[in-house]
Amino acid sequence: MSRLWLLPLLLLSLHATSAAGAQEEPGVAECPGQRCACGCVGTAGIPGLHGQLGAAGRDGRDGRDGSIGPPGPKGDVGNSAVDGAKGEPGFPGRTGMHGELGRPGQPGMKGDPGDCATMPKSAFTAKLSAPRPASGSPIKFDVILTNSGNHYDPSTGKFTCVHPGAYYFVFHACVYSESVFTHLKRNGEVVHKFHSAWVSSWPGVALSGGAVLSLKAGDQVWLEVTGAHNGIFSRSDIDSSFSGFLLSPE
């Protein structure tokens, strides 16, 4: 810093030397008013030394921010195995608006009615018109009360199965003056036995019983008195009867 005051003097000396050299250089035209008093042109002076560098200037003010440039083209999709791990998932988007509900459609046309299943019918009730039927043969209950389908034949006393299934048969009799032994038969085979013993101290007793039989089409069922005792009684004010009906078809 002690030598900085020499810098102006050196610059002034260099300027004067350059001006004198330019006037006295041989072969160079003389400039008016640059001659010395004797009229001779002088030789060029020795160039001066370079001056020392001055101190660095202060930093300038920051420039204004430039405008944002246009976005660059989209880069190629990288390979996650090479370019690094997969980024975190973004936040869920906002829920969209609900769509409008449609109106219910018109009811369809009514379908055609289906076939109605009909259960076959078979039922009968018949009673005796006279007491003590013959033994060893089908009892002919000849007074018909019900005979749906006409599957019972009062002339033979037999019921013939038309619709296969389960049937219920019941026998009711008034017993008077003698005991009774009665068999329920299917195709000539005894399937049930009814018995009532008569007691002389009683004027009359009742005999009732029934059974459920599984029948096939064509099977026949009847009641038959066995033995010498036949106390089955019937008159206008007392009835003995035989009934049967289909419980469930196959």
Which CATH number do you get for residue 143?
A: 2.60.120.40
For residue 59, the model assigns a pLDDT of 79
Distance in angstroms (rounded) separating the CA atoms of residues 182 and 223:
7
Q: Are residues 128 and 18 in the same domain?
A: no
Write phi, then psi, for 14 (nearest 5 degrees).
-60, -40
Q: Is residue 113 part of a domain?
A: no
Q: Is residue 54 part of a domain?
A: no
Q: Is residue 81 part of a domain?
A: no
Q: Is residue 240 part of a domain?
A: yes
Q: Which amino acid is at 108?
A: G
Write out the chain's pLDDT in tens, 250 residues: 455 555 555 565 555 544 444 444 444 444 444 455 556 666 777 877 777 777 877 877 877 877 888 887 876 665 554 555 677 888 888 887 877 777 787 888 888 776 667 889 999 999 999 888 888 999 999 999 999 999 999 999 999 999 999 999 999 998 887 888 899 999 999 999 998 887 776 667 888 899 999 999 999 999 999 877 777 888 888 899 999 999 999 8
Q: Is residue 109 part of a domain?
A: no
Q: Are residues 131 and 225 in the same domain?
A: yes
Q: What is the dihedral of CA 74, 80, 84, 90, to 10 degrees?
A: 70
Distance in angstroms (rounded) separating the CA atoms of residues 87 and 85:
6
Q: Is residue 173 part of a domain?
A: yes
Q: Is residue 51 part of a domain?
A: no
CB 145 within 8 A of CB 127: yes
Q: Is residue 92 part of a domain?
A: no
Q: How many domains is the chain built from?
A: 2
- SS (HEC) of 184-230: EEECCEEEEEEEECCCCCCCCEEEEEEEEEEECCCCEEEEEEEEEEE
For residue 4, the model assigns a pLDDT of 55
Q: Are residues 39 and 144 in the same domain?
A: no
For residue 84, the model assigns a pLDDT of 57
Q: Are residues 231 and 133 in the same domain?
A: yes
For residue 13, the model assigns a pLDDT of 55
- Domain range enclosing 6: 1-25+34-44
Q: Are residues 221 and 128 in the same domain?
A: yes
CB 223 within 8 A of CB 230: no
